[in-house]
A = this chain, B = another copy of it.
Amino acid sequence: MSASDKVKNQSLHHVVIVGGGFGGLHAALSLGKAPVRVTLIDKRNFHLFQPLLYQVATGGLSPADISSPLRSILNKQQNTKVLMGEVKNIDPEQQKVFLNKGDITYDTLILATGVSHHYFGNDQWAPTAPGLKTVEDALEMRRRIFMAFEAAEKESDPVKRRAWLTFVVVGGGPTGVELAGAIAELAYSTLKKDFRNIDTAEAKVVLVEGLDRVLPPYPPELSAKAEASLVELGVKVQTKALVTNIEDNVVTIRQGENIERVEARTVLWAAGVKASAMGKILAEHTGVELDRVGRVMVESDLSIKGYPQIFVIGDLANFTKPDGKPLAGVAPVATQEGKYVADLIIKRLNYESLPPFEYYDAGSLSVIGRHSAVADFGKVKMSGFLAWLIWVFVHIYYLIEFDSKLVVFIQWTWSYFTRKRGARLITGDESLGQIGVDERGDFFVASKLDAKVKA
């Protein structure tokens, strides 16, 4: 770049994007040829294809299979800089974001930092019942799931053994359904021949959902199909059921009048999300309204009230539809929001505008195990094998868009026919990746999350 180019470049409109998930990344991609400078900031150096994270948690895929380095996705965009770092604060009046060292001035700011788990006031459950948002979360789940079978194999007391072989998944949304289905397949099929002291088919997988059916955002008939598929896989589905306590390896489940105490060493949390800290930071500085779980209430153009140059997109945003409900926190919503905001920024540079954001719902897909899924394309509703095939191809198509993840396709084809799961490694800190014996002589699996709580 020549010196005069550099000066020209510096004077270009500067778009700062915080977060490289579906929303932030698609905003950056859509600005690739625009006469702007783009800076994409993310804590991590990769974009994560979160819809397949449950596959990592259950040993089907490796983290790298569903991740792409942000730099390599964006390296052909000469106007785009990627910065690995965390935005700690913002100043909307001076139009600046602050990293842990230094600050960056923006002309337009796009916040897309997403959500984390929500334990509805029971944060003490977090160490026992990890959620699934990051690669590390997925590896921790994978470690716990496979470790539980290892511990059961070593345990001679049948009661304790049963607790190791009991898996409770809290939350019957897409993630909970995917996890429960995948664990059932592990226990009843993949691992069946691998153990000598235990019969993995004796494992119990319980899916607990507070509402009256699984996959609540889907039409009731598809929820019913999903539940039937889960039951066929061997999952015990409990609807209208609330987890009221998780303590000492016992999950207390209240279903109406009925209170059940399930001894389970593995509890996975897929029940709720809350907005990342950025929501609160933004509200402090701009007075913008947050919803019950901390998401930012956005205007019809995804900007925030009084600050047309600040946009919030993806899971962090609460975009209320005409029916009063917010758009779901799914990848297609974030993607379309990112593209819309990019388009709007380009329009504004020409002193033009765009009609309000509208989500085009191409349909929803949710997978249940190795050969079943449900698909809701509005008028067309599907379930079973065909829906599963569509699910597979849609996911591979989107994976390939960023990076050649042909490997995933081959891996899947292979595991479909062999029922093998290749990524079953128990890893982590050496001292944690093991089964210990506590003061009473019982087996335990050391956990990083436990360690944090104790520390």
Contact = CB atoms under 8 A, between A and B. Distances in A.
A435 B100 CA distance: 9
A211 B38 CA distance: 50
A101 B154 contact: yes
Contacts of A150: 45, 84
Contact of A414 (B72, B134, B404, B436): B404
Q: How many monomers of this chain does the complex have?
A: 2
B426 A194 contact: no
Interface in A179-197: 191, 193-197
B194 A71 contact: yes
Given A75-B194, A153-B83, A67 B100 contact: no
A247 B196 CA distance: 50
A67 B69 CA distance: 23
Given A83-B153, A146-B45, A425 B194 contact: no
Interface in A33-80: 43-46, 62-65, 67-69, 71-72, 75-76
Nearest to A137: B430
B403 A407 contact: no
Contacts of A146: 45
Contacts of A429: 136, 448
Point out which of A75, A191, A193, A196 has the most chain B C-beta atoms below 10 A from its C-beta. A196
Contact of A64 (B45, B86, B423): B423
A167 to B, nearest CB: 18
Given A63-B425, A84-B150, 7 more contacts: A43-B434, A44-B425, A68-B422, A69-B424, A84-B154, A101-B154, A406-B410
Top 6 A-B pairs, shortest CB-CB distance = A62-B62, A64-B423, A71-B194, A101-B437, A84-B150, A75-B193
28 contacts: A44-B433, A45-B146, A45-B424, A45-B425, A46-B426, A62-B62, A62-B65, A64-B422, A68-B422, A69-B194, A69-B424, A75-B193, A81-B196, A83-B154, A84-B426, A84-B434, A84-B435, A85-B154, A100-B436, A136-B427, A136-B430, A139-B427, A403-B420, A403-B422, A406-B414, A407-B410, A410-B410, A429-B448
